[in-house]
């Protein structure tokens, strides 16, 4: 029994060591070494989605989108409820302008975790790219509800309101932005534009 316990501890320590090495390499920008470490982990624990997912993140960071999608898919095969894999697939499809697929992957993420604003944000921007503005608007509202400290949904929802001439609504939205986000350059720029247009001051916009 003691031998089994010791074996489990060695295995856990080895896993932690490999993962730490990979994460340090990734943080320093040494993506080749990070990939090698994650591949080593995969060879030792082939049934864990951890390794495929993180290799997908490395490939994603390097904009190797096809490779990254394949690795995320491998992680999903091992864990069909891998929220972050679906979320990142949605991001990649947006980058590739495969907006219908971006919507589909974001919806899969939402079915797994319907209370994370990041998935609603991904859903919104893919809808907006498809010119499905009403659906994008609803998605951004949900993103803000569940992730009030994520600045992008405020910016894009504000632009939708402004694009429809609803400057007062855009200003009301911006008044709800958490204080720590209000100095974001896009927030400041759009706020100035909304104020100018709401006053009919086109030259200042």
Give pLDDT, residue 1: 46
**pTM, entire model:** 0.87
d(C-alpha 195, C-alpha 201), whole Å: 8
In the predicted model, residues of the chain with pLDDT beneath 70 are: 1-10, 199-205
Residue with tokens 């899969």: 108
| Segment 181-191, tens digit of pLDDT | 989 998 888 88
Structural element, H or E, at residue 178: none
Give pLDDT, residue 201: 53
Give pLDDT, residue 195: 77
Give pLDDT, residue 12: 82
């Amino acid at each position: 029994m003691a031998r089994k316990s010791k074996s489990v501890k060695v295995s856990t320590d080895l896993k932690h060591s490999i993962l730490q090495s990979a994460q340090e390499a990734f943080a320093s920008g040494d993506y080749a070494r990070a990939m090698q470490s994650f591949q080593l982990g995969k060879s030792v624990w082939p049934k864990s989605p951890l390794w495929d997912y993180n290799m997908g993140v490395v490939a994603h960071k390097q904009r190797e989108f096809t490779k990254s999608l394949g690795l995320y898919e491998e992680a999903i095969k091992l864990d069909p409820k891998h929220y972050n894999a679906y979320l990142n697939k949605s991001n990649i499809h947006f980058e590739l302008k495969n907006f219908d697929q971006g919507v589909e992957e974001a919806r899969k993420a939402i079915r797994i975790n319907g209370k994370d604003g990041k998935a609603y944000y991904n859903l919104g921007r893919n809808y907006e790219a498809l010119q499905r503005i009403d659906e994008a608007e609803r998605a951004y509202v949900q993103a803000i509800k569940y992730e009030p400290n994520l600045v992008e949904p405020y910016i894009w929802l504000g632009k939708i309101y402004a694009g429809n001439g609803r400057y007062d609504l855009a200003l009301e939205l911006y008044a709800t932005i958490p204080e720590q986000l209000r100095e974001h350059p896009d927030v400041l720029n759009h706020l100035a534009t909304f104020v100018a247009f709401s006053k009919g001051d086109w030259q200042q916009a």
